[in-house]
Structures are given as C-alpha cells and as structure tokens.
Amino acid sequence: MSIHHAAHHAARSPVPSLAPPLVDARGLTVRLGGRTILDRVDLEVRPGEIVTLIGPNGAGKTTLVRAVLGLVRASSGAVERRRGLRIGYMPQRLTVDATLPLTVRRFLSLWRPVTDARIGAALEEAGVSHLSGSPVQSVSGGEMQRVLLARALLSDPDLLVLDEPDQAVDVHGQAELFGRIETLRRTRGCGVLLVSHDLHTVMARTDRVLCLNGHVCCQGAPEDVRRHPEYRALFGGHADALAVYVHHHDHAHATDGAVVPGHDGDCCHG
C-alpha cells in the first residue's frame, strides 16, 4: 500500500481502514472446467471502503465476486467473511419470467419478511419510488438496476456487492448511480465491492482499485493504478484518456442530463 493511497483513503473514507475487513480473500484460486480463472488472488474490503475490480473480459471479475458471495467454491485459498456479515448483492441483470405476475414492491418482499414501510424507504433511497406498483417486467434496464439496488439495501448490508452496475445505464445514469452508491457508503458506513467496465467513472469514485487479469495485476489508489505499467498494457490508449476524463465526474448528472454539483465540491465541468 503506497503512502499516496493511505493519504487518499483517509481523506475520502468516513471509517478508518484499521477496522477488521468485511471480507478477506487470501490466495484465492478458482479452477472451472480445467481452466484456472483466478490465480492466488488476495482481496479485502473494509467497512466504509469502496473497492473496484477492473480488468478485461474473461479476467475473472465476476468469478471473484461469486467467490466472495459464496456462489463459487475455492479450489485453494479461502474467502473469510466477518461473522454475521450481511451482504447486499446487486447482480448484473435479472429477468423475471413474464408469466409471473409480480409488482416491484412484491419483488422486493420475496427475500425476507419485510414491512411495506421499509420497502418504501429502500425504493426512495435507490431513487425509484414511482415504480413501486409497476410490474417488475415493465421497468427499463436502468430502472431495474436501481430496483436491484433497493433490494440489496433491504438486507441492511454491511457489504454491498455490485456487479457491473454501469452496464444497463447510460453515461448520465451511471454518474447518478455512482453518486448514490457513494452517498450510501457515507450514510450507512458499509463497504462496497464493485465490478466495472467504465474506467473513468470508477476512477473518480473509488478508494482502491484492483486490476484483475486472472491474477491481481496491480492495486492501490486509482492514481497509482493508472500509472502502473501492467494496467497501461491492459488498457492501452484508454489509460491516457482517463487522465482527462477523471475530472469530469466530480459532478453528477440527473436523469435528464442536467449537471448536478457533486459531493466533492471541486467540480470542474469542462
């Protein structure tokens, strides 16, 4: 961990990183069908920390997330979860069969006994209160992402796990969604583990980046990772574009595209 990272981290995280990790993967190796997907990966997420996994297609990002969730067994190494850890998982996508009549509100009630008031609050927090009575099949991809975020919040999570939350959402929606995630981290103090393709949005919002390509290529504060030779080799020209883009996302966009001042207060729109 570099000095740069430590300073950066202290400046953004509400909780000191000295707290014990929520999840701690050590030497995690996963082989599926004779192929090594993950090779001795170390990963930890602490309370109040946003950790982002990036890497090319087939790098094992989703497999690592599934191992953290307990959906994939480690071939060697281990994933330790803090005792009684509550995980709120937001999958990449979810399609409910059209034959199942289910409103958004009802969809949210399936996972645990929960009051209507709590469902309302979670929908509010995710910014989709207006969808409460809609059939869950009728909401758009971006709206569904927010519904899935609301679902993840209902478990009152210590750790939010978000698999490519930017996938079904356009650029403006992404900035707003990441703004929401950052707010949640601050208000609830939960740790966040997210997978992303969208490098520039991620870079601006994250405490620590883990660049994955089967093994961990490099990790640290976003600025450090961006300078790392292995990262530059993986992302080539995009890596340079980032230096320009990173500042653009200190503000947020509302769904209509209007610019909303960011939380950092150092927005330099341009």
Partner 1 sequence: MDDFVLRALAAGCGLALVAGPLGSFVVWRRMAYFGDTLAHSALLGVALGFLLGVNPLVGVVGVCVALALALVGLQRRRALASDTVLGILSHSSLSLGLVAIAFLETLRVDLVAYLFGDILSVTPADLAWIYGGGAAALGGLLLLWRRLLAVTVDEDLARVEGMPVEALRLAFMLLIALVIAAAMKIVGILLITSLLIIPAAAARRFSRTPEAMAALASVFGIAAVLGGLFSSLSWDLPGGPSIVVAAAALFLASVLVPAGNR
Of positions 16, 101, 141, 257, contacts partner 1 by CB under 8 A: 101
Answer for which of 110, 117, 258, 268 binds partner 1 (CB under 8 A) is 110
Q: How far is the CB of 63 from partner 1 (least distance, A)?
A: 13
Hey, how many other C-beta atoms are within 10 angstroms of the C-beta on 130? Answer: 10
Told to check if 118 binds partner 1 by CB under 8 A, we report no
As measured in angstroms, the least distance from the Cβ of 242 to partner 1 is 32
Q: Considering beta carbons, is residue 65 or 204 the nearer one to partner 1?
A: 65
Q: Would you say 93 or 238 has its CB closer to partner 1?
A: 93
Query: 142-171 mask for partner 1 (x: CB under 8 A)?
Result: ---------x---x----------------
Closer CB to partner 1, residue 112 or residue 227?
A: 112
Query: By CB under 8 A, what part of segment 14-73 binds partner 1?
Result: 66, 69-71
> Count residues contacting partner 1 (CB under 8 A)?
25
Residues lying near partner 1 in the complex (CB under 8 A) are found at: 66, 69-71, 87, 89, 91, 94, 96-97, 99-103, 106-107, 109-113, 135, 151, 155
